[in-house]
Amino acid sequence: MIFDEITVEPAREADAHRLGELVFAMESELWPEDELDVGQFKMTAEDILSDDGSRYWAYLARSQGELLGLITLAEKKAIYAGGRFGEIVEFYVVPSGRCAGVGKILLEHAVLKGQEMDWPYLEVGAPHQPAWKTTLSFYLNNEFREIGPRLEREI
C-alpha cells in the first residue's frame, strides 16, 4: 500500500489505549497460541505513559489519521556499552503498512532519539527464527548486526 504522508509523533497519555491495542496486535501475531487480554495491554500502556520518571519513549506512525505502527524505546545500562544505551522494546507495523516504508521511518526516529540521548548503541531482540526471517532481514538491512539471540525466562 502507498501512503501519501507518514508522520511520526511521540505517544501521549491520550494515545495509551491505541498504543496498548497495537502492542496487543504485535504480541498476538508473535504468540497466536497465547490467550492475551487487550484490556491489560491498554492499562499497562496507561501506567507507562503516565510515569514521568520512566526512561521509556513511544512513537506512533500515522497517515491521514490512520495508525500504522509504533516503536518504543527504553534506556538500559551495561558495562560493555560504556553505561547507558537504548533498546527497542516494541516495534510493530500494521500489515497494510509493511513494505511501505513505515518501519524505516519509525526506526529513523529511534535513531534520532538515540543520538539525542548520546547512546552508543541501539539494541533490539528479533523474534524467533526462521519464522520471522523478514524481520531479521529488515534489521540487518538497516545497519544492525547480529549479536546473538535474546532469551527470556518467566519468574
* 3-class DSSP state of 7: strand
Q: How far apart are CA 136 and CA 128, in angstroms?
A: 9
Q: How far apart are CA 11 and CA 8, in angstroms?
A: 9
Residue type, 110: A
pLDDT at 32: 92
Confidence of residue 148 (pLDDT cuts 50, 70, 90): confident
* Cβ atoms of residues 136 and 126 within 8 Å: yes
Q: How far apart are CA 10 and CA 13, in angstroms?
A: 10
User: Is the confidence at residue 1, as pLDDT, over 80?
Assistant: no
* 3-class DSSP state of 26: helix
pLDDT at 140: 87
Q: How far apart are CA 73 and CA 55, in angstroms?
A: 8
Locus of grid cell 516503536 = 71
pLDDT tens, residue by residue, 39-92: 999 999 999 999 878 899 999 999 998 999 999 999 999 999 999 999 999 999
Can you read off the three cell numbers belonging to residue 27? 504480541
Average pLDDT, the chain: 92
Give which of 130, 131, 125 is closest to 147, Cα–Cα. Answer: 125
Q: How far apart are CA 66 and CA 7, in angstroms?
A: 10
